[in-house]
Chain A
Amino acid sequence: MSKGILIIGYIGDSTIRHVLEITQAADVEFSFLHLGDYYSNGYLRHSSSGESRRTMVRAAGVSYRISEFSGIYQRLLLPNPSHVGKYQWPKTMSRFVGLSAVLQSTQVNTINRPLCGWENMSKPLQSYFLRQKGFTVPLSLTTSIVSDYKKFRQHGETIYKSNSGVRSIVDNVEKVENERLQFLENCPVLFQRRIVGKDVRIHVVEDSVFAVEIESDAIDYRYYRTKGTYSHMRACESAPQWIMDLCRSYAQERGVVLAGFDFKVDDLGNWYCLEMNPSPGFESYDVVLEGRIGKRVLEFLLGQSL
């Protein structure tokens, strides 16, 4: 008898809160494993020979038998080491490694398995894979060499962002060049030719595709409150079928059930793929689409239509 869905994450994570809300609203049975509790006082048992029948996670006095769930939605994050006491860190790390191993090998439908879409932790590497797949990607340079940066910079408007999966605020280099260039040799930075145009976010849930377009005066629309003045989202009806097919196909190849693709579309109608996020925060786009993304997420996790 299935116990419904197991949701794993932090209650302070707005995506987790959204998934909890839509699950409740759909009257779907669920359990919530709060990572804060698990890291501070939880443990797990798991046997490779007994498969998931013998996998049990415990936190805050509650036991969760993994195989009893029809699906798992997880946003397994390791806290920043600087936010955890020195004595607590080895415990936290061991619990993270253990749970990660369990989620990696479970037979239960999971969004998403740890390390699916791992290439997102290197954006230039992901750009390489995306281009191999057939997407158009912006010209870019990862460098810690000042002279190379200057060469790249002279050919057009340039933005900067993190190379890794660490979230960064994307912005124009002009604003920080004088102040920050001297530090470039300490840490490579990903520079990209700026594409001017609207943003489009495409979510893939298994075989379904959902597109939302965003108009904003900020380079990084997520931070329009501090870096711009407005950001408007609406359902995107103009996404070409071949782009949606490529997104679906790429996500499937990478083993990612729920993926968030970021695009810039220039004035000539060229679609530039910026990245595929394998752990997308999809709540604001789901609101725009009146819950269609969330519904498909729940359907996948339950293994049935709602």
Chain B
Amino acid sequence: MSARDLLEPSPQLLTRTQFILLLGSPYDYVLLQTRDRLISNDVRVYLVQNVALVNISAPFGVDDVEAKIVIEGESLSIRTAKAILVSQVMAGTKDLMDGSDAHYVEQEVFASWLALLSMAPCRIINRPSARVPVMLYNSIQLRSFARSLGVPTVDEEICSKRELVRRKQRGENLVCLDLSNQQPFCLVDDYRIEGGRLYSIIEVTCDATYAITVRIAEEFLSFLYKPSQGIFRMPDAFQNQLKDSSRTLLDALNLSFAYCVHAFQPFQQKVPEFTRLYTETPPFLPMNVTDTVVDKLIDELKR
């Protein structure tokens, strides 16, 4: 069966009253493509970026109120959701709030959606895990968690500006992370290093080759990526190894759709080391891989 065959309407699987909800950025190309192709196949699909703009009811033990969301005035019972894809949950607040109200509302909205997504009886891709708060983890916590599972993971060091400058002066060309905003940067670049902030130095050179695995349910796609040079085929010797370590990590995080990035030293016979994880589309995803991901995602959502 070709990918195109998967797009044919299959009414026995997805009825007209059912809908599919995509939670994530409208600038995420994979989500946009997925939404557009589902619409062209007559599927009711909603892409929601900011869940604070969607009204919600999540009853618990109550008979006469059903779980629902209201998107732009349209009430949608969660009972009729065919599937929900959680790429990112953003709870930005409405303009009318002042600062302290906005902070409170963000937390309340997030908490109510966390409950809804955990309890909803429909199929949820990337359902919040009961065990691990993946939606709350930053990239350091993810690496720490991966290490605790025995997944080969890059070393890193948390330090102040002083150490960062010292290593920059030694000409080390490493990937770093500004812990104040989780912004990655390259040590040799002109990123403004501020005194008083803490940074993480990740032991990966900025010109490293990366081994990427993309998981969509039980499918794992993998390829090599080198910034400025593009993508390459993954050597067979590493395919299974990467698939296994990605599966170990993603199963523990309850993620069935995610992109795992590993630092890869092709000439050092070194096992690729987990570096970071995306649930939204990473900027380097090549177009041909994007198309395959969208195909498989649609298949999963309609299943």
Contacts and interface: CB of A to CB of B under 8 A. Distances in A.
Contacts of A141: 57-60, 62, 65
Interface string B100-129: 100111011111101110110000000010
A287 interface: no
A145 B70 contact: yes
Chain B: interface secondary structure? Answer: mixed
B79 interface: no
Interface stretch (B1-9, B10-18, B177-185): B177-185
Interface stretch (A3-11, A42-50, A60-68, A209-217): A42-50
B68 A145 contact: yes
Interface in B67-112: 68, 70, 94, 96-97, 99-100, 103-105, 107-112
Nearest to B105: A187
Interface stretch (A93-101, A235-243, A262-270, A297-305): A93-101
Interface in A138-176: 138-145, 148, 151-152, 155, 162-166
Contacts of B41: none
A91 interface: yes
* Chain A interface residue number, banded: 35 or more
B138 interface: yes
Contacts of A280: none
A89 B196 CA distance: 11
A187 B109 contact: yes
A188 B106 CA distance: 10
A125 B155 contact: no
B100 A94 contact: no
A127 B111 CA distance: 12
B130 A145 contact: no
B140 interface: yes
A47 B157 contact: yes
B183 to A, nearest CB: 10
A165 B114 CA distance: 13
A190 B116 CA distance: 13
Nearest to B138: A97
B159 to A, nearest CB: 5
Contacts of A190: 112
B62 A139 contact: yes
A43 B56 contact: no
A25 B138 CA distance: 39
* Chain B interface residue number, banded: 35 or more
Nearest to A138: B61
A94 B180 CA distance: 4
Interface stretch (B32-40, B141-149, B251-259, B262-270): B141-149
Interface string B44-67: 000000000001111111101100
B108 A189 contact: yes
A118 B136 contact: yes
A104 B146 CA distance: 13
Interface string A92-135: 01110110111011000000000100110111110111010000
Contacts of A125: 111, 114-115, 118-119, 128
A142 to B, nearest CB: 4
Contacts of A145: 55-57, 68, 70
A44 B158 contact: yes
B133 interface: yes
B180 A188 contact: no
A182 interface: no
Most B Cβ at <10 Å: residue of A123, A138, A141? A141
A189 B107 CA distance: 11
Contacts of A46: 157-158
Given A125-B115, A152-B62, A91 B197 contact: yes
Contacts of B155: 47-49
B194 interface: yes
A166 B104 contact: yes
Contacts of B119: 124-125, 128
Given A91-B180, A93-B180, A121 B55 contact: no
A157 B127 CA distance: 33
B111 A121 contact: yes
Nearest to A188: B112
A129 B59 CA distance: 14
A226 interface: no
Contacts of A178: none
Contacts of A131: 61
B158 A102 contact: yes
Contact of B112 (A45, A47, A152, A163): A163
A124 B97 contact: no
A75 B284 CA distance: 40
A90 B158 contact: no
25 contacts: A43-B196, A45-B160, A46-B157, A48-B156, A48-B157, A49-B155, A82-B103, A90-B180, A90-B194, A91-B197, A115-B141, A118-B136, A122-B110, A124-B58, A124-B60, A141-B58, A142-B59, A142-B116, A145-B55, A152-B62, A162-B111, A164-B110, A166-B107, A188-B55, A188-B112
Given A82-B103, A152-B62, 10 more contacts: A48-B153, A81-B99, A90-B194, A98-B158, A124-B115, A125-B115, A138-B61, A139-B62, A144-B112, A164-B108
Interface of A: 43-49, 80-82, 89-91, 93-95, 97-98, 100-102, 104-105, 115, 118-119, 121-125, 127-129, 131, 137-145, 148, 151-152, 155, 162-166, 185-190
